[in-house]
Amino acid sequence: MFTNSHYENFPVISFFLPKELREHIAVVYQFARQADDIADEGDGSVECRMKNLELYEIHLRNCLDEIYENDFWYALHNTILEYKLTPKYFFDLLSAFKQDISKTRYKSFDEVLNYCERSANPVGRIVLELFNIRDEESFQYSDAICTALQLTNFYQDVSVDIEKDRIYIPIDEMDKFGVKLNQFELKQNNTNFEQLLKFQVDRTKEYFSIGRNLFPRLPGKLEKQIKATVLGGEKILEKIEMINYNVLNYRPKLSKIDYMNILLRVLIK
C-alpha cells in the first residue's frame, strides 16, 4: 500500500494518528522501506539483491525468536508482540519484494492481484491490527483500498518502471487493446494505449469505491487518515485522466495545493 515511490503520495505517518501509535507505525514503515531499498538497490545484481533480501528475512525470523541484529529488530519484535500483529504479513511483504527482483512481466490481472495481496494488502491489515480491528469484512475492504493504491502507483510509475524493465499491466489485456510491449520502451502513446490505461484506471476506481465501505468501521482519527490516503490515490487517477493517460511520457504527482485540498476535504465532512 505504501511501499513504492518512497511513500510519496500515500504517507503512513500523520498527525491524524494517535501519538501512542506513531512510533509503532514508524517501525512498520521502516521495515517495509528497508526491504524496498534492498529490492531496488542501485546497480546491484539480481543475485546480490536477492541474497540481501534473504538475509533480511533471516533477521526477521531471528527477531521473532528474540535474537536481534540491532535495536531496530528489537523494536519491531516489541511492536509485533504488544499489538499481537500477524507475522505472516511481514513475510508476505518480503515475498513481494523478492518477486519484484525476479519477475518483470504479468500475464494476467490475476497475477497482478496476487502480487498486490502480498505487496500492499498486508500493510493495511497490519494498520488495522494496530487499532485492534480484526474482523474479516474490514480486512476485505482494507484489501480493496490497498490494492487500489498499489494499482494507482503502477499506472503513475509506468515511465519509471520501464527504466527498470518492469511492466505491471497484464499482457493479455495489452493484447486485447492492441498494445505491444515495445511501445513501453519506445514510449509510443496512441489511442490503443490510452484505451488500455482507461480500462486500468476505471477498474481501480471500482476498488476504491468498494474500499470506502471501510470508513464507517474506523475510529475517527484513523478514518481521517485512510480517507486522506484514498483521496490522494483518487487524485492521481484524476491526473492520469487529465494527461489523456499518457503515463509513458509523464508521471503525475500530487502538488502542495492537492495536499491542502485533500486535508480540507477530510476535515470538512
Q: What is the pLDDT of residues 148-198, one digit of tens each?
A: 999 999 999 999 999 989 999 999 999 999 999 999 999 999 999 999 999
pLDDT at 89 > cutoff 70: yes
Write down the pLDDT at residue 20: 87
Mean pLDDT of 205-209: 98
pLDDT at 17 > cutoff 90: no
Mean pLDDT of 248-263: 95
Q: What are phi and psi of 165, to 5 degrees?
A: 60, 35
Residue in the structure block whose three cell numbers are 531496530: 72
Provide the grid cell at 174.
Answer: 495489452
Centre a 10 Å sphere on the Cβ of residue 114 and count the other Cβ atoms it contains. 14
Mean pLDDT of 131-138: 97
Write down the pLDDT at residue 63: 97
Write down the pLDDT at residue 43: 72
pLDDT at 9 > cutoff 90: no
Write down the pLDDT at residue 14: 64
pLDDT at 7 > cutoff 80: no
pLDDT band at 6 (very low <50, low <70, confident <90, very high): very low
* 8 A C-beta contact, residue 160 and residue 123: no
Residue of 125, 138, 130, 184 whose CA lies nearest to 159: 184
Write down the pLDDT at residue 252: 96
Residue in the structure block whose three cell numbers are 528489537: 74
Write down the pLDDT at residue 188: 93
Residue 135 amino acid letter: D
CA distance 137 to 217: 10
| Helix ranges (DSSP H) in 120-212 | 121-130, 136-156, 158-161, 171-176, 182-186, 191-211
pLDDT in tens, 208-255: 999 999 999 999 889 999 999 999 999 999 999 999 999 999 999 999
Name, in order, each residue with C-beta under 8 angstroms of 28's C-beta and a sequence gap of 6 or more.
12, 76, 79, 123, 126, 127, 130
Write down the pLDDT at residue 42: 65
Q: Please state which architecture CATH assigns to domain 105-269.
A: Orthogonal Bundle (1.10)
pLDDT at 10 > cutoff 70: no
Residue 242: C-alpha distances to residues 108, 153, 190 (Å): 27, 16, 15
> How close are the terminal C-alpha atoms of the chain, in Å?
24
Mean pLDDT of 126-142: 97
Residue 134: C-alpha distances to residues 20, 28, 111, 140 (Å): 19, 18, 26, 11
Residue in the structure block whose three cell numbers are 487493446: 177
- Exposed (0-12), middle (13-18) or buried (19+): which is 110, by Cβ within 10 Å? exposed
CA distance 177 to 186: 17
pLDDT in tens, 45-81: 899 999 999 999 999 999 999 999 999 999 999 999 9
pLDDT at 3 > cutoff 80: no
CA distance 90 to 97: 11
Write down the pLDDT at residue 1: 38
Higher-pLDDT residue of 105 and 43 is 105
Residue 164: C-alpha distances to residues 24, 120, 157, 158, 239 (Å): 32, 20, 11, 10, 23
What is the three-state SS of 189-206?
CCHHHHHHHHHHHHHHHH
Q: Cα–chain-centroid distance for residue 124?
A: 9
Mean pLDDT of 17-36: 91
Write down the pLDDT at residue 16: 74
* 8 A C-beta contact, residue 145 and residue 22: no
Centre a 10 Å sphere on the Cβ of residue 226 and count the other Cβ atoms it contains. 23
Residue of 173, 140, 169 whose CA lies nearest to 152: 169
